[in-house]
Amino acid sequence: MERRERADAARNRQAILRAAEELLRRHPPEQVSVERVAAAAGVGKGTVFHRFGSRTGLMLELMTERVRELEQAVTEGPPPLGPGAPPVERLVAFFDAVAALAARNGNLMAAHEHAMVTRKAPEQPREANPIYLFWHRHVSELVTEARPDVDAEQIAHMLLGVLHMEPIASQLRAGEHKRLAASYADLVKGLIRGGAG
């Protein structure tokens, strides 16, 4: 009986995540409510709240699923995204991958931002988000390795914060990421070259 309940819970979780993903593909983020997701998944609204806690929690879980593959590539994959390449090459590869991920998932990122802004109860700030923490730590470590003379933590916040600027976010929602990736490459190479004198 317990095994069947666990299987049902796992099926419900996947149905909810797939329903949210499909709704985000077809509708603006502000129109993707917990009620609509529950109806599309064939579950009660309470099931969504029980499993994810809030709309923000649902969007965060969906985001986490999307970035898991990138995190694995960063920690265990081949260079330049994974270990073994010089820091500048790894940074360029990372921001290229992040820009592509953001472009493929523009509505999801916008939905997560919308959920954070409109949440009723105070929750953790963006900087406490596990995805952000991983990305920030990774960028900080690579900047420190290449330029131990600069404030790597602050620079990492600045580089990642660009993703949430509306002109950039609207480009990413439109699926345009190559221009952002090229600009990240210019910024990173300029930063690293700046310490080579």
pLDDT digits (tens, 9 = 90+) for 44-85: 999 999 999 988 889 888 888 888 889 999 999 999 999 999
Tens digits of residue pLDDT in 111-151: 766 666 666 655 556 667 788 899 999 999 999 999 999 99
The token pair that represents 191 in the structure block: 């930063």
Tens digits of residue pLDDT in 174-192: 778 999 999 999 999 999 9
For residues 89-116, average pLDDT: 83
Is the distance from CB of 54 to CB of 150 less than 8 angstroms? no
Distance of CA 181 to CAs 92, 147, 171, Å? 8, 21, 12
Domain ranges of the chain: 1-53, 55-193
Is the distance from CB of 107 to CB of 173 less than 8 angstroms? yes
Backbone dihedral angles phi then psi of residue 54, each to the nearest 5 degrees: -165, 175
**What is the fold, at CATH topology level, of the domain defined by 1-53?**
Arc Repressor Mutant, subunit A (1.10.10)
Is the distance from CB of 29 to CB of 6 less than 8 angstroms? no
Is the distance from CB of 59 to CB of 115 less than 8 angstroms? yes
Q: Judge: domain 55-193, CATH 1.10.357.
A: yes
Q: Where are the alpha helices (DSSP H) in the chain?
A: 2-26, 34-41, 45-52, 55-76, 87-104, 106-118, 130-146, 152-161, 166-173, 178-193
Same fold, 1-53 and 55-193: no
